Chain A
């Protein structure tokens, strides 16, 4: 998927994460801030990168502010932000395909 315009998903509430995606320069730039960085920073980063990979995103600036979200929430927020940036978040979502 190609990141067409800046988009955001999620909130800054506890147990949630806020993800912003913007068009990139041919690679993934990830900026991560987390309340559980020392214990889960590596795993969160991996989850975000895997999710982007599954969505076929190869060029994007991604910012995530994590408030202790579980992996399932992190995935949901990244997917929603990416789909929103492509204008494809409302219908015909590939559940179980790209989204899993």
Chain B
């Protein structure tokens, strides 16, 4: 039995890799590739008549496998299926770090899941509030309700768009420049930032089109996403490269954070670094840069 620490609501999530919860060979060590979060899938990857079997596999995987620092999220079946309640029970009982709500369309959907999670936490003696939530927006309605969804619960750490279903609804297909989803991505990002939670882009499914994948990752970074969902370990490295801060950004962040701590000790709230005025508003960003730098092997100091 592997005890997992209490999940951290706002941790580093550059990469979230989907894995079929029903495949023992896949889930046993998905963490070796250095992904930030793995997403064990009870939904689309699992055939309708194997939903029960997948839960037994998932339960024992969660209880037995040492995932280390890798976050373990489970994608549960949609609220319009007969499966989601048992999915939530097994996630909570097994100690998953978080649950991804598929096809989320309203704040009410989040609250429905939250209530079931709370009930399960009580049933299995799990610390209340431990299990985090994220929502997948897969429809125009979900995108239009993005803000209320993002702000629906203290358990919500992030929101992601699911490109496959969304594009079908919009009667479009993947475009090289991302024009097909640019508005939806933008609206979701704004909602997530307004609610103060993280925001993740959809998967890129054509594994043979590395160039297209890389272009999309660069666009994700430019738009301000926190990370991206992936379908194959070979996609991890490029995302981590693109999402890594520059050496200059790291040194600047280091200066800001250490100067802030020194000045705060002296009672000063506003000061200058390299001639630029700095106050407390700069600190969360600088600390985030340092945490990211540490994950990328670029920072070994003790400021974060």
Taking Cβ atoms with an 8 Å cutoff, the residues of A that contact B are 9-10, 13-16, 69-73, 75-77, 79-80, 83-84, 89-93, 95-96, 99-100
Contacts and interface: CB of A to CB of B under 8 A. Distances in A.
B53 A72 contact: no
Nearest to A92: B86
Contacts of B90: 93, 95
Interface string B81-100: 01001100110011000000
A76 B53 contact: yes
Contacts of A72: 24, 57, 60-61, 63-65
A15 B23 CA distance: 9
B124 A73 contact: no
Contacts of B94: 95
Residue from B53, B56, B85 whose CB has the most chain A CB atoms within 10 Å: B56
B53 A16 contact: no
A71 B25 contact: no
Contact of A89 (B23, B52, B64): B52
16 contacts: A10-B53, A14-B25, A15-B28, A69-B24, A70-B64, A73-B24, A79-B56, A80-B52, A83-B56, A90-B51, A93-B86, A93-B89, A93-B90, A95-B90, A95-B93, A95-B94
Interface in B1-47: 23-25, 28
A95 B53 contact: no
Interface string B106-128: 00000000000000000010000
Residue from A71, A89, A96, A100 whose CB has the most chain B CB atoms within 10 Å: A96
A90 B63 contact: no
Interface of B is mostly: helix
A76 to B, nearest CB: 4
B60 A13 contact: no
A90 B57 contact: no
Nearest to A9: B53
B116 to A, nearest CB: 13
Contact of A95 (B64, B85, B89): B89
A96 B93 CA distance: 7
A75 to B, nearest CB: 5
Interface residues of B, number: 24
Contacts of A95: 59, 89-90, 93-94, 124
Contact of A76 (B57, B65, B93): B57
Contacts of A16: 23-25
Contacts of B65: 72
Nearest to B90: A95
A80 B53 CA distance: 6
Contact of A84 (B25, B52, B60, B93): B52
A79 B57 CA distance: 10
B55 interface: yes
A14 B65 CA distance: 18
Nearest to B64: A72
Residue from A73, A92, A95 whose CB has the most chain B CB atoms within 10 Å: A95
Contacts of A79: 56
A72 B124 CA distance: 20
Residue from A69, A76, A80 whose CB has the most chain B CB atoms within 10 Å: A76
B124 A96 contact: yes
Rank and list the top 10 A-B pairs by shortest CB-CB distance, nearest first. A95-B93, A72-B60, A15-B25, A76-B56, A89-B52, A72-B64, A73-B24, A80-B56, A76-B57, A80-B53
Given A15-B25, A70-B28, A71-B64, A77 B56 contact: yes
B60 to A, nearest CB: 4
A99 B56 contact: yes
Contact of B60 (A76, A90, A92): A76
